[in-house]
Amino acid sequence: MILEATKVSIFKRTRMIEPRFRFRAVALLSVILVVGSSLKAQSAIGVNWGTLSFHKLKPSTVVDLLKVNKIPKVKLFEADPDVLEALMGSGIQVMVGIPNEMLTALSSSTVASDLWVRQNVSRYVVKGGVDIRYVAVGNEPFLSSYSGQYESYVMPALLNLQQSLAKVNLASYIKLVVPCNADAYESSIPSQGAFRPELNEIITRLVSFLNSNGSPFVVNIYPFLSLYGNSDFPQEYAFFEGTTHAVTDGPNVYYNAFDGNFDTLVAALSKLGYGQMPIIIGEVGWPTDGAIGANLTAARVFNQGLINHVVSNKGTPLRPGVPPMDIYLFSLLDEGAKSILPGTFERHWGIFSFDGQAKYPLNLGTGNRLLKNARNVQYLPSRWCVANPSTDFSAVTNHMKLACSVADCTTLNYGGSCNGIGAKGNISYAFNSYYQLQMQNSQSCDFDGLGMVTFLDPSVGDCRFLVGVTDVSSSSFRPVHRWVIPWGLIVWGFWVFVM
């Protein structure tokens, strides 16, 4: 992960984010959209719905969660048929994502783009279907850590997809966008914002395409990563409650990192002649676990401050009174199967836990309403796997490696909510995570006699020992070994708390 090194570069942010790569084809059935809906989206607070989870809620349960919380917009990282089918008739506006790995094929011919549009867009955009408003072509394809591997495919893919949408009469309704990481631009102060020199040509072509088709510029902004990666970054500047480290830029004063980052992009677009281009925040949020600074209190303060700031229509110094078109909080649910290469906090961005339970009070700007929990969640029985107190744990190392190579142990890391529960508590947490992932199979709690099943909840304070969710009618639980990740990537800081 590459992050800001000094305060003078606090407006640039680089995030190494794992690609989302699952793609499933479904039978094609091309239809034409019934005309009449507005082409102009209203400003709103939406959410990112990622599905890289060991414990997946039914898509219909998640859609109900969106509706009960009056969340009007959702951004998906892939065109998952189960998710899209669940969204049919919901009235929720959707941004469908295309993983970076698909750009090569989509840029090669209109045959591939025609097929993708038929299978993943036009079959769902029918009366009473899915209200798809955007297709996100790639996910942060210009990220510096990708070393340009996707850059040459972005524009050809965009042009092919635009033609494919036109063939099914959807080109004027569904807008193509390219979510960019904030490391695409840089500056010491916002007014000097400019795109990275090596990106200048392709970004110029991109914004010209977006402008000609009435599409916004989509950017992901993460003040948390600025704070996480730089010990000199002023903590209060990451939030929205005022700071003693305000940044003065000529006549403008910046009191939070979000506004500074946003206006750096505005300045960069202005240098290309597109200073008035609408901007959508594709991802923004704060994690709740897995690292120092990632906690419930900080996440609530940041997200509520952000929402209040945006819905106030105050705007920023370079765009007074003009907030982003929309913002998509990252994210709706925790994703326990995500890569943790960027950091162990990566699995804990949700405003809801994996089972759809609100983590903290949050008003999404829809009146005096706080988050409501998911309804009708199907749980496994209330039992847990813990360390057997009557056994010798000298041989526990290999069992811990197994449990944490398959299940999620990131809350045990330094700064995590389960970091202080002691050696046996760590063992119990790892055993239980594996046990729940194995659908509470009795053999999965054996660990050569080191584990035992209990009916007493072993949770301690903020450290929650989970009980899995189940849905026998769908594939909410995948075979465990499909998810095996080298254990060293998961527990790199773990053993100091166990041994």
Domains of the chain: 7-347 (3.20.20.80), 384-497 (no CATH)
At residue 368, the pLDDT reads 78
Distance set, CA 305 to CA 258, 262, 365 (Å)? 11, 16, 11
Cβ-based burial of 291 (10 A; exposed 0-12, middle 13-18, buried ≥19) = buried
How far is residue 263's CA from residue 132's CA, in Å, rounded to a whole number? 29
CB-based contact 72:44 (threshold 8 Å): yes
At residue 373, the pLDDT reads 98
How far is residue 202's CA from residue 208's CA, in Å, rounded to a whole number? 10
* Structure tokens that stand for 2 in this block: 């590459």
How far is residue 325's CA from residue 42's CA, in Å, rounded to a whole number? 7
* Structure tokens that stand for 220 in this block: 């992901």
How far is residue 97's CA from residue 17's CA, in Å, rounded to a whole number? 15
How far is residue 93's CA from residue 461's CA, in Å, rounded to a whole number? 38
Q: Over pLDDT 70: what percentage of the chain?
A: 86
- End-to-end, the C-alpha distance of the chain in Å comes to 28
Instruction: Give the chain's count of helices (H) and strands (E).
Output: 12, 17
At residue 43, the pLDDT reads 64
At residue 144, the pLDDT reads 96
> Is 140 designated active site?
yes
Query: Which phi and psi (to 5°) does residue 182 adopt?
Result: -70, -5
How far is residue 359's CA from residue 356's CA, in Å, rounded to a whole number? 9
How far is residue 352's CA from residue 336's CA, in Å, rounded to a whole number? 13
Task: Please list the residues that pair with 49 across neighbouring strands.
Answer: 76
Question: Of the listed 151, 283, 335, 346, which one is catalytic?
Answer: 283
b/e string for 107-124 if b means 16 or more Cβ within 10 A? Answer: beebebbbbbbbbbbbbb
Length of the chain: 499
CB-based contact 253:246 (threshold 8 Å): yes
Torsion of CA 408, 409, 411, 414, to 10 degrees: -140
DSSP annotation of 228 reads H
Which positions ≥6 away from 364 have C-beta within 8 Å?
45, 69, 70, 71, 307, 371
Which positions ≥6 away from 124 have C-beta within 8 Å?
84, 85, 87, 88, 130, 132
Task: Please list the residues that pair with 48 across neighbouring strands.
Answer: 75
Distance set, CA 159 to CA 103, 105, 113, 297 (Å)? 12, 13, 10, 44
Taking residue 217's Cβ as centre, other Cβ atoms within 10 Å add up to 26
How far is residue 56's CA from residue 34's CA, in Å, rounded to a whole number? 33
At residue 489, the pLDDT reads 29
How far is residue 476's CA from residue 10's CA, in Å, rounded to a whole number? 40
Helix ranges, 17-149 (H): 59-68, 81-87, 103-108, 110-117
Peptide bond preceding 331: is omega within 30 degrees of 0, i.e. cis?
yes
Identity of the amino acid at 309: H
Distance set, CA 365 to CA 30, 94, 456 (Å)? 37, 19, 39
Identity of the amino acid at 302: F
Report strand pairing: 93-98 vs 451-454: unpaired
Q: Which positions of the chain have pLDDT values less than 70?
A: 1-43, 471-499
Torsion of CA 59, 308, 348, 144, to 10 degrees: 100
Question: Of the listed 78, 140, 335, 346, which one is catalytic?
Answer: 140
Angle at 59 between CA 489 and CA 125, to 5 degrees: 115
* Structure tokens that stand for 168 in this block: 């099914």
Residue 163: which of 197, 116, 207 has the closest Cα? 116
pTM: 0.87
Which positions ≥6 away from 147 have C-beta within 8 Å?
none
Containing 130, the helix (H) or strand (E) segment is none
> Is 241 designated active site?
no
